[in-house]
Amino acid sequence: MTLEEMSEEYRAASEKCRQRFRELCHELRNTDMSETERMLLRRRMCLVEAMAKETMSTARYLKNYYAGSDDADAGETEKTGIHGAETVRPPDGAL
């Protein structure tokens, strides 16, 4: 397996985490639950968000591993990866 292939697998894993985060947001908005349950769900959301950021960061790192110093800034135009992970936040009013 090449670093490029590994990068794509990490990117796919990150997307799965983002999808799960969206599902949890929907659950938080549309389910009646106690404050304790809401707190636990928000905690799970934070963990899934962190996993999404880390897997995307790893994907970017692997993809650009062999990039020379000329390409060091190549990923900065995207708001993901080592230079600043994109924040996965629920829509307004979800929390």
Structural domain tally of the chain?
1
Q: Do the domain assignments include residue 87?
A: no
Q: Is residue 86 part of a domain?
A: no
For residue range 57-87, list pLDDT tens digits in order: 999 999 999 885 444 454 544 444 444 445 5
Please provide residue 86's backbone torsions phi and psi, each rounded to the nearest 5 degrees: -65, 135
**pLDDT reported for residue 15:** 97
What average pLDDT does range 4-9 have in this prediction? 96
Backbone angles phi, psi at 31, to 5 degrees: -125, 130
- Predicted pLDDT of residue 58: 96
Phi/psi at 54 (nearest 5 deg)?
Answer: -65, -40
Residue 34 lies in a domain: yes
Q: Cα dihedral sign for 11, 59, 83, 18?
A: positive
The model carries a pTM of 0.69
**Domain membership flag for residue 30:** yes
Given this model, what pLDDT does residue 66 score? 86
* pLDDT tens string 13-64: 999 999 999 999 999 999 999 999 999 999 999 999 999 999 999 999 999 9
Asked if 61 and 82 count as a contact pair (C-beta separation under 8 A), the reply is yes
Domain that holds residue 35: 3-77
Domain membership of residue 83 (yes or no) is no
